[in-house]
Amino acid sequence: MTPARAEAGKNIKNAAELWYNNTIVNQRGYMKHLLTKVNCKNSDEKQKALVELQNVCSQCRACDLCKTRTSTVFSDGKADAPVMLIGEAPGPEEDIAGKPFVGRAGQLLNTFLSDAGLSRENDIYICNTIKCHTPQNRIPSNAERRACQVYLFGQISIIRPKIILLCGSAALQTFVDDDVKISDIRGKWLNIFDDTEVMAISHPAYLLRQHSTEANTPRWFMKKDLEKVKNMLQSI
């Protein structure tokens, strides 16, 4: 497996610089400014930098999704959370609430997290690959994901989480080649950043359609994957 999109930046600051170089022109000024802020020393500094980034994001018109959104959906969780969970795109409930993972899939995620001994409030910072709802819940295009990466990589650069969870294929494919299948690498620790453990996990929207909890079923794998996350968190 070649995590080609991230391999030039083996640590998070380098990755942010790499994305800055690839960022579309009207976002560059802000990203350059942001890169001066990636060495936040404490949670107050992180929180301040995130609020600043969120304010810019809320005005963003860098792709056509700005025309159909109700609100930008930036994040939920504490700036000093050790785990960052990255989903795909806001759904209709999230578009209205302005918060990620608040619908049925979010409720299922909360159950899996608490069953694994993880606290959504204290351990997890949640965001999405793109910050605006896509019409009819379609998969975000590559151009939309590229336009929005400035915010995602800004969030990663400011928070510098110990663990990143890539939740579903769209989140995974932001970091690895398109032909890497989530079914092949789900639950494995991925060598994407030197300074952060990364794992792909199933998206809870997919698990809503999978009801069995027997061994080797998708819900069983999700439980085992999150137990690995809990163990890793206790060991680092």
List of residues contacting ligand SF4 (CB under 6 A): 57, 60-63, 65-66, 72, 130-132, 144, 147-148
Of the two residues 6 and 60, which places its CB atom closer to ligand SF4 in the complex? Answer: 60
Of the two residues 65 and 126, which places its CB atom closer to ligand SF4 in the complex? Answer: 65
Task: State the nearest-atom distance from the C-beta of 204 to ligand SF4, in Å.
Answer: 21
SS3 letters for the chain? CCCHHHHCCCCHHHHHHHHHHHCCHHHHHHHHHHHCCCCCCCHHHHHHHHHHHHHHHHCCCCCHHHHCCCCCCCCECCCCCCEEEEECCCCHHHHHHCCCCCCHHHHHHHHHHHHCCCCHHHHEEEEECCCCCCHHHCCCCHHHHHHHHHHHHHHHHHHCCCEEEEECHHHHHCCCCCCCCHHHHCCCEEEEECCEEEEEECCHHHHCCCCCCCCCCHHHHHHHHHHHHHHHHHHC
Of the two residues 17 and 144, which places its CB atom closer to ligand SF4 in the complex? Answer: 144
Of the two residues 120 and 131, which places its CB atom closer to ligand SF4 in the complex? Answer: 131
Task: State the nearest-atom distance from the C-beta of 219 to ligand SF4, in Å.
Answer: 30
Task: State the nearest-atom distance from the C-beta of 162 to ligand SF4, in Å.
Answer: 26
Task: State the nearest-atom distance from the C-beta of 164 to ligand SF4, in Å.
Answer: 19
